[in-house]
Amino acid sequence: MAARDPYQVLGVSRGASDAEIKKAFRKLARQYHPDRNEGSANAEARFKEVQAAYDAIGTAENRRKHEQEQMFSGFGAGGNPFGNRGGFAGMGGMEDVFSQMFGKSMAGAQQQQRSAPRPPQERGHNANAWIDLTPEEATNGGSFNLTYTQLIPGSHGSIERKRRTLKITVKPKSKHGTEIRIKDQGHGHPQGVNGDLIVKIRVDPGEGCRWDGDRIVKEVEVSYSTLVLGGKVTVTLPDGVKGKITIPPLSQVG
């Protein structure tokens, strides 16, 4: 039986953040943990499925690898990973034979078929890549080198992996998660043109910080007495500036 989609297993969207995926995993792991479902084979199987799903998409890097694997999971030895769109290459000579046998009516039908609108040109898959920038680089913009893997059709239906380096232009004041589309620089197609390259900007949130959607989350250590009684705690912001935040009384961890 084929494994279920890890996003469906954890009940999260494909755009979910690390924190959202981790939260969903913890909830399901507690629900199906063998210690809480002693003797239940179904719960044990579900727990393993949840664990495997989190291993597959728990981090941005793992999600990128998972999407890449899914995109090319149908590529097999001897198969055509780009689709089987080939027609009958030798039909040109057959038109003359049909014309002689059946007269002008067949030739006219062939002519009408040739004059029909052509279908859209086939395109390869889009390639996806991340470019890591410091906050200063994202603010100032500029040109940066990006190295990524491009899949191109080889001989006898094979696939060749080609490492490419492009110079990417980032606009000033670009934000984390901004996408840059570069036309025709994605994966190839044996009977068409390349797909596009989709580059996503990943801004370093700073030490001890992480992204939660479009917000930066920073975990700080707080004493038990401050959690209970409330107070102020000094934190260092991503730009290096220190500030104080107020902890309300009876606050909880997390």
pLDDT for 89 equals 39
pLDDT for 22 equals 93
User: Domain check: are 179 and 236 in the same one?
Assistant: no
pLDDT for 3 equals 74
Query: Shortest CA distance to 166 belongs to which of 138, 136, 196?
Result: 196
User: Domain check: are 195 and 226 in the same one?
Assistant: no
User: Domain check: are 150 and 179 in the same one?
Assistant: yes
The helix (run of H) or strand (run of E) holding residue 226 is helix 224-229
**Higher per-residue pLDDT: 189 or 207:** 189
Give how many domains the chain has, as a whole number: 3
From its phi and psi, is residue 85 left (phi > 0), alpha (psi between -120 and 50) or beta? alpha
For residue 230, the enclosing domain spans 220-254
Reported pTM: 0.49
User: Domain check: are 146 and 197 in the same one?
Assistant: yes
Percent of the chain with pLDDT over 90: 39
pLDDT for 88 equals 39
User: Domain check: are 238 and 199 in the same one?
Assistant: no
Chain-centroid distance of CA 36 in Å reads 35
Q: How confident is the model at residue 122 (pLDDT cuts 50, 70, 90)?
A: confident
User: Domain check: are 192 and 230 in the same one?
Assistant: no
Whole-number Å distance between alpha carbons of 237 and 244 = 10
pLDDT for 202 equals 92
Q: Are 140 and 174 in contact (CB under 8 A)?
A: no
Mean pLDDT, residues 175-194 taken together: 92
User: Domain check: are 199 and 227 in the same one?
Assistant: no
User: Domain check: are 134 and 198 in the same one?
Assistant: yes
- Ranking 4-13, 57-66, 140-149 by mean pLDDT, the lowest is 57-66
**Higher per-residue pLDDT: 4 or 99:** 4
Q: Average pLDDT, whole number, for the chain? A: 81
Choose the final residue of a domain: 52, 71, 90.
71
Q: Check whether 2 has a pLDDT greater than 80.
A: no
Residue 41 located in a structural domain: yes
Residue 241 located in a structural domain: yes
- Ranking 17-26, 120-129, 195-204, 214-223 by mean pLDDT, the lowest is 214-223
Q: Check whether 153 has a pLDDT greater than 50.
A: yes
Which CATH number does the domain housing residue 40 bear? 1.10.287.110
pLDDT for 91 equals 43
Q: Which pLDDT tens digit goes with each residue over 63-81?
A: 888 877 776 554 444 444 4
DSSP string, 68-130: HHHHTTT--TTS-TT------TTHHHHHHHHHHHH-HHHHHHHHHHHTSPPPPPEEPPPEEEE
Q: Are 137 and 170 in contact (CB under 8 A)?
A: yes
Q: Check whether 250 has a pLDDT greater than 90.
A: no
- Ranking 47-56, 68-77, 139-148 by mean pLDDT, the lowest is 68-77
pLDDT for 252 equals 84
Burial of 39 (0-12, 13-18, 19+ CB in 10 A): exposed
Residue 104 located in a structural domain: no
**Higher per-residue pLDDT: 90 or 199:** 199
- Ranking 13-17, 48-52, 68-72, 230-234 by mean pLDDT, the lowest is 68-72
